């Protein structure tokens, strides 16, 4: 029996939540990457305690904020980080945008593995830089890096953005892969920005390696972006951490975060982060539910919708589903799916592959079954 509540489906319809705004009554969104679970009680109590003070002026960052991260990384990964290598930021994407401006110039090339989180493309292009796409390839149902293509991209790129673990595929990179990335980056003097926001959501028994932990090369070229917002369902709480062991890079990054006014917390940033990082039992149970849901969804799809191929990655609560046998692109299928069944999913086209859709399985099992039945209903209409 679960200690925490992963059965209640929160009533978020038309209450100002992005995923649920302007929905029809019978529509079911499995699109945006936040969870439809209740948060950890420890987080709720920490936020309630802060709000109960009834005074909401400027707040500061004390040493306990950084110590919470130091303890988390030591406990979870046996990896030592220090407060001198860290800086607070309001979010992973504001950090990414700021660091792009700090460590590169307009028209510089920035490489990333594709398919990729769509906001990577936005942050690169909106800052006047150019994208180099390095496509992952499928081998025995696993997504793999083409290191020849990666090396070729590093000959031109100033920065490489790594989503570690990978969104949308759910791939968890091996230590050997990360070491090789770091070695190539050092060879060609490329900065590696490792977005590790999905790292708390990893299948039991599968090792996750923080990029900076794998080698001295990684420590020299790497900058890590991390936040509790994805793993503990706190997407609207503005809080994240930037850290790097390269002192010169970190000094420049901190100046940039200040320049862009993204290094000061709001009222809830600090208590939410500390409460999340101490809620490891909730996270462990959330992972059990999420990967049980992923396994169930893959089994259901294989049995009942055989024209689709669901890739059951070892990280994230996102399922990357190949729809190519339907002979429709992902935008067309997503629109049809919403029209015919009320199910809302993410089109793979925004991530760089029109043969896929992405669905979010971080919701109660009863709702997941409803979603899969809707998916089947729509696919059955396509001959």
The answer to whether residue 61 is domain-embedded is yes
23 in the same domain as 84: no
Pair of tokens at residue 341: 């069944």
Q: Taking Cα atoms as reference points, which of 279, 275, 282, 281 lies closest to residue 46?
A: 275
pTM: 0.96
Residue 138: closest CA among 309, 351, 350: 309
The predicted pLDDT at position 24 comes to 87
Are 270 and 277 in contact, with CB atoms under 8 Å apart? no
245/266 same-domain check? yes
Task: List the pLDDT tens digit at each of the 383 positions of the chain.
Answer: 679 999 999 988 878 898 988 888 899 999 999 999 999 999 999 999 999 999 999 999 999 999 999 999 999 999 999 999 999 999 999 999 999 999 999 999 999 999 999 999 999 999 999 999 999 999 988 999 999 999 999 999 999 999 999 999 999 999 999 999 999 999 999 999 999 999 999 999 999 999 999 999 999 999 999 999 999 999 999 999 999 999 999 999 999 999 999 999 999 999 999 999 999 999 999 999 999 999 999 999 999 999 999 999 999 999 999 999 999 999 999 999 999 999 999 999 999 999 999 999 999 999 999 999 999 999 999 98
Q: Which domain holds residue 329?
A: 18-40+280-381
Query: Which burial class, exposed, middle or buried, applies to 226 when counting CB atoms under 10 A from its CB (0-12, 13-18, 19+)?
Result: buried
* Helices and strands in the chain: count of H runs, count of E runs: 12, 15
My answer on whether 284 and 304 are in the same domain is yes
Measure the CA–CA gap between 279 and 270, rounded to whole angstroms: 14
Last residue of a domain, one of 277, 312, 327: 277
Domain end among 277, 293, 315: 277
Q: Do 136 and 86 have their domain in common? A: yes
Look up the CATH number of the domain holding residue 294: 3.90.1150.10
Identify the CA nearest to 31 among candidates 13, 18, 50.
Answer: 18
């Amino acid at each position: 029996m679960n200690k925490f509540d992963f059965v209640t489906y929160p009533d978020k319809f038309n209450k100002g939540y992005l995923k649920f705004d302007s929905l029809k009554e019978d529509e079911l969104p499995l699109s945006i990457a936040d969870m439809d679970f209740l948060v950890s009680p420890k987080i709720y109590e920490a936020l309630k305690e802060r709000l109960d003070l009834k005074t909401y002026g400027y707040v500061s960052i004390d040493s306990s904020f950084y110590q919470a991260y130091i303890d988390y990384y030591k406990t979870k990964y046996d990896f030592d980080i220090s407060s001198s290598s860290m800086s607070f930021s309001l979010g992973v994407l504001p950090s990414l945008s700021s660091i792009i401006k700090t460590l590169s110039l307009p028209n510089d090339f920035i490489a990333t593995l594709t398919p990729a989180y769509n906001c990577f493309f936005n942050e690169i292009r909106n800052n006047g830089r150019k994208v180099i796409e390095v496509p992952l390839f499928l081998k025995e149902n696993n997504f793999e890096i083409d290191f020849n293509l990666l090396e070729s991209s590093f000959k031109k790129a100033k920065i490489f953005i790594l989503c570690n673990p990978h969104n949308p595929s759910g791939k968890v990179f091996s230590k050997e892969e990360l070491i090789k990335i770091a070695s190539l980056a050092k060879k060609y003097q490329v900065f590696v920005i490792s977005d590790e926001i999905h790292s708390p959501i990893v299948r039991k028994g599968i090792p996750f390696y923080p990029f900076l932990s794998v080698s001295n090369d990684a420590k020299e070229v790497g900058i890590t972006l991390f936040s509790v917002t994805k793993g503990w369902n706190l997407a609207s709480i503005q809080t994240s951490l930037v850290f790097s062991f390269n002192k010169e890079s970190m000094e420049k990054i901190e100046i940039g975060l200040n320049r862009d006014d993204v290094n000061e917390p709001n009222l809830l940033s600090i208590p939410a982060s500390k409460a999340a990082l101490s809620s490891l039992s909730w996270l462990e149970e959330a992972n059990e539910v999420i990967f049980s849901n992923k396994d169930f969804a893959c089994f259901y799809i294989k049995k009942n919708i055989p024209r689709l191929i669901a890739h059951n990655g070892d990280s994230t609560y996102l399922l990357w589903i190949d729809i190519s046998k339907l002979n429709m692109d992902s935008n067309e299928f997503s629109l049809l799916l919403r029209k015919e069944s009320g199910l809302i999913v993410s089109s793979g086209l925004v991530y760089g592959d029109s043969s896929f859709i992405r669905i979010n399985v971080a919701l109660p099992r009863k709702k997941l079954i409803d979603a899969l039945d809707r998916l089947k209903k729509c696919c059955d209409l396509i001959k």
